[in-house]
């Protein structure tokens, strides 16, 4: 098996790399869009997504520029501006997506996020993916802070972030409008020093 450094280089070049013995990840491609769209048609998935459900044109306007930017980044040997990975199993079945985005005008600040189709829930994919992108942020992109947020009722996403070492930093009451009423927005974060402490703790 290749070293972590070589695997990251392969990922950067647009090649699929192992996330675990069961799943692989690869930078987003044009052919992934249909799977993403189908995932976002499931009301159980979109329940805790503020941007969905939405017309397909909105998804195209959001994802297609990311795909184009990714293609250009691969061609130039750089990490994409909006690093987006697609998770698949050994049968090439779509198992979700995750992203790591540079915060505008704040060098070294990144936001991490993930969306999984319903058939991928409960398999540990969210935690594996979140930990992987966190590693990329701090060890490849010189991040000094990575943040994430989720609905307070989204117990699964909050659990993923906690398992990945993120700290609950705030609670914005009534931030999200839902079909029933409103929901709080949970704010999670990790600093470079917290990441290093977590990494050193795992090595002991």
Q: Give the whole-angstrom CA distance, residue 144 versus residue 8.
A: 19
Under 8 Å between Cβ of 89 and 22: yes
Q: Under the phi-then-psi rule, with left for phi > 0, alpha for psi from -120 to 50, and beta for the rest, what region is 153?
A: alpha
The pTM (predicted TM-score) of the whole model is 0.93
Structure confidence at residue 1 (pLDDT) = 53
Please state whether the peptide bond connecting residue 53 to the residue before it is cis, i.e. omega within 30 degrees of 0: yes
| Phi, psi values for residue 112, rounded to 5° | -115, 145
Share the mean pLDDT of the chain: 94
Total domains present in the chain = 1
Q: CATH number for the domain including 107?
A: 3.40.630.30
pLDDT (tens digit per residue) in 86-125: 999 999 999 999 999 999 999 999 999 999 999 999 999 9
Range of the domain at 160: 4-203
Under 8 Å between Cβ of 188 and 145: no
Structure confidence at residue 74 (pLDDT) = 98
Under 8 Å between Cβ of 112 and 130: yes
The yes-or-no verdict on residue 5 having pLDDT over 80 is: no
To 10 degrees, what angle do helices 125-139 and 155-163 make? 50
């Amino acid at each position: 098996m290749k070293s972590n450094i070589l695997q990251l280089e392969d990922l950067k070049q647009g090649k699929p790399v192992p996330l675990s013995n069961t799943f692989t990840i690869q930078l987003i491609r044009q052919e992934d869009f249909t799977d993403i769209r189908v995932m976002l048609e499931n009301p159980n998935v979109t329940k805790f997504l503020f941007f969905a459900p939405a017309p397909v044109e909105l998804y195209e306007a959001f994802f297609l520029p990311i795909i184009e930017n990714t293609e250009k980044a691969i061609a130039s040997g750089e990490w994409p501006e909006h690093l987006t990975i697609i998770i698949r199993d050994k049968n090439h079945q779509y198992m979700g997506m995750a992203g790591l985005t540079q915060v505008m005008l704040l060098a070294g600040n990144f936001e991490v996020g993930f969306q999984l189709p319903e058939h991928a829930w409960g398999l540990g994919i969210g935690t594996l993916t979140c930990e992987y992108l966190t590693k990329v942020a701090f060890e490849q992109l010189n991040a000094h802070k990575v943040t994430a947020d989720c609905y307070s009722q989204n117990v699964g996403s909050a659990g993923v972030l906690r398992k990945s070492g993120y700290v609950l930093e705030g609670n914005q009451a009534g931030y999200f409008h839902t079909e029933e009423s409103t929901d709080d927005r949970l704010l999670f974060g990790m600093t470079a020093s917290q990441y290093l402490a977590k990494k050193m703790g795992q090595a002991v």
